[in-house]
Structure 1
Amino acid sequence: MSLLLPSFPFAQQAQIIRSNQRDLFQVSSLREQTENVLRAWLGTRWLSRWDKEIEFIVKAGYYSLTIGRGTQTLGEEYTGIWLHSSHNDRRPSPQLRAAMILLPTLPPYIAARWGSSLPQSSMLRRIPSFIEILSEINLAIFYLRGTYYTLGRRVLGLHYISSIPENPNSRPPSYSLLGILIGVRLIYRLINFLRSGNSTTEKSDNQNGKQIVDGTQETYIDDISVSSLLSAPSPEDQPPLPAEEDQRTALDVAQIPEDQRAGRSCTLCLEERTASTATECGHLFCWNCIVGWGREKAECPLCRQSLKLTRLLPVYNL
């Protein structure tokens, strides 16, 4: 009598989607807690400067401690699914697991960190858009057929099996409509792209403040191109400016006694304030520090009162 080994069914679409959503929630929660600790230790300015590295480390760390060790992620454990290789019908090898960690984390980090420094005409700047389109095509196929949720798993040939037996009396939900809608959106984007390519001309339109540069239409604001404004580094990413070089104060900082200068520190960056700014509740911070904080949390970092960036008041004599 031969021994029959148990077989596991393929994971259903709903299981894969819930697993991915739960993993995204866990990564987001882990990143928020990490940022809170680093903000308390090193200040908002340091956190803004290295936010891309923090995001990469958090994502890589989460998947290294789960997929890298050959175990389930929290989302996979929640839905009862396991990764399986389509090539050898076994669990992923260490090489595949390493690729699974790096593919969704390393390319986005490289594009976010150095993509804006590439020239506008460089083909490398179009790679993130190309990958985004491929990911949407893969997602549309997933909603229609339900096998590979991400582009990386499709490339590596990794699918999910379920530890929950199929119920022959129930019909799993269908997500085909979502796949059709994504396909319609992709067709619409393709039509717009073809139309814009056919309508591109080599003349300038000075009345509307537009010029043609390298075959593409460039918009200018006060003789400054919009692309240069968008690619300019954020003030929050710049190194701290010495208080003596602060151009946004009417004080001669060098003449202020040392004991008084010690009371001019910003509680966010822990350095002497530059471009002093007051909140509605009366607390003083560096302009870049409080703006960076306000974009993440709409509350004063000291008293937790509601914070509105439009209500910040620059102070030139403090």
Structure 2
Amino acid sequence: MIPRYSFPATQQAQIIRATQRDAFHLFTLKDQTESVLRSWLGTRRLTRWEKEIDLIVKLAYYGLTTGLAAQTLGEEYTDIWQSTSSGVGVSQSRRLALILLPVLPVYVAARLNIWYPPGDSTLGKVRQSLPATLEIAGEVNLALFYLRGVYYDLVKRVLGIQYHSSVAENPDSRPPSYSLLGILLATRLAYRLISWLRSRRVAADPSKDPSVEESQTTAGLNASSETFLDDRPVSSILNIRDPESRPPIPAEEDEGTILDVGAIPEEIRDSRKCTLCLEERTHGCATDCGHMFCWDCIVGWAREKSECPLCRQSISLPQLIPIHNL
């Protein structure tokens, strides 16, 4: 009869270090992929496909490790193995679910919200609240992990996938406890629940909110201080949906400048290129830090990342400065 061997229990620290290591390798892989694609496509086009790049990188990383029944780099670093709660190996169907479930629903929901705005229907409200719901569920699972130390990832909890370690326990040392983090997370979740219940009560009866009058006064002041650009409210320009999808126009046809672009020497025109689209600037504008881009390029960028693509200084859409003579 073949003897049965039991593996030591996996410590919380091992699971946390493995997850952090995987996150580091994913970040490095995505950064290198973006560097290569940026040299081919330019920063503007790369920004439009950022979600797809993130999806492909994660599918490739976990597909070549978990999908092939091998350890990820983080799991190999801490010497832990995936298994079911009963101690047997993970089936191929569970491995496939483990690869797809963490990334695919979030990606589909994000793209649907961009392509098809949720609206006021019940399905639209569900779609709109899905990211926040998944975030809260993840925090609840993380609080349980810090208190119990079994499932760090929500998908692994749903699929019943645990870890086993091949490292023998040291009887002379006590593993670190993360219970305090679990208590802090639970406190934060309780505060969010109380805030949500309070907002629901105010939504049902706005008269119970003492800040209603103040917010109405502030809204009136904001409306009276609306900024205009050539008789156009700046808010109407910023509210253009997906400006990057509009086809680029030649610099000679740019109506947003007073310059005679065709009369500018070629060597000077070369210095007017936008670093996001790698084309000559049209409807040029400047950020607070002084860098210049096409209007559509920087607006599309700032909606994804509120920082200058060159110096990483924080930028705000209402503070972009249109430039007509550069």
Q: TM-score, normalised by structure 2?
A: 0.77
**1:118 to partner: Cα distance:** 1.2
Counterpart amino acid of 1:69? L
Match of 1:90 in 2: 88
Q: How does 1:34-53 map to 2 (within 5 A)?
A: 34-53=33-52
Match of 1:111 in 2: 109
Match of 2:182 in 1: 179
Contact 1:266–1:273 (8 Å) recurs in 2: yes
**1:222 to partner: Cα distance:** 3.2
1:229, 1:72 → 2: CA distance?
50
Counterpart amino acid of 2:143? A
Contact 1:80–1:164 (8 Å) recurs in 2: yes
**Residue 216 of structure 2 corresponds to residue 209 of structure 1:** yes
Contact 2:307–2:313 (8 Å) recurs in 1: no
1:194, 1:282 → 2: CA distance?
44
Contact 1:45–1:288 (8 Å) recurs in 2: no
Match of 2:173 in 1: 170
Q: What's the secondary structure of 2:174's corresponding residue?
A: coil
Q: How does 1:103-182 map to 2 (within 5 A)?
A: 103-116=101-114, 117-119=117-119, 122-182=125-185
Q: How does 1:1-318 map to 2 (within 5 A)?
A: 2-86=1-85, 89-116=87-114, 117-119=117-119, 122-200=125-203, 201=205, 208-209=215-216, 222=223, 233=241, 235=243, 237-242=244-249, 243-244=251-252, 246-253=254-261, 263=270, 264-277=272-285, 285-289=293-297, 292=301, 300=310, 308=313, 315-318=323-326
Contact 1:249–1:316 (8 Å) recurs in 2: yes
Contact 1:103–1:152 (8 Å) recurs in 2: yes
2:152, 2:74 → 1: CA distance?
14
Counterpart amino acid of 1:270? L
Deviations 1:44-76 (A, max 9, x none): 110111111111111111111111111111100
2:240, 2:286 → 1: CA distance?
26
Could you list the runs of 5+ residues in structure 1 that have no partner in the other structure?
A: 212-217, 301-305
Counterpart amino acid of 1:149? Y
**1:286 to partner: Cα distance:** 3.0
Contact 1:279–1:307 (8 Å) recurs in 2: no
Question: Residues 164 and 108 (structure 1 numbering): CA distance in 2 closer, same or farther, change over 3 Å?
Answer: same
Counterpart amino acid of 1:222? A
Structure with a larger share of its residues in helix = 2
2:70, 2:118 → 1: CA distance?
39
**1:112 to partner: Cα distance:** 2.3
Counterpart amino acid of 1:128? P
Question: Residues 276 and 93 (structure 1 numbering): CA distance in 2 closer, same or farther, change over 3 Å?
Answer: same
Q: Calculate the aligned-residue CA RMSD, in Å.
A: 3.8
2:138, 2:312 → 1: CA distance?
37
Matched residue count: 300
Percent of residue pairs identical? 49
Contact 2:66–2:99 (8 Å) recurs in 1: yes
Contact 1:261–1:272 (8 Å) recurs in 2: no
Contact 1:23–1:74 (8 Å) recurs in 2: yes
2:118, 2:237 → 1: CA distance?
14
Contact 1:22–1:75 (8 Å) recurs in 2: yes
Could you list the runs of 5+ residues in structure 2 that have no partner in the other structure?
A: 227-235
> Mean alpha-carbon deviation: is it higher for 131-140 or for 199-208?
199-208
**1:145 to partner: Cα distance:** 0.7
2:129, 2:322 → 1: CA distance?
39
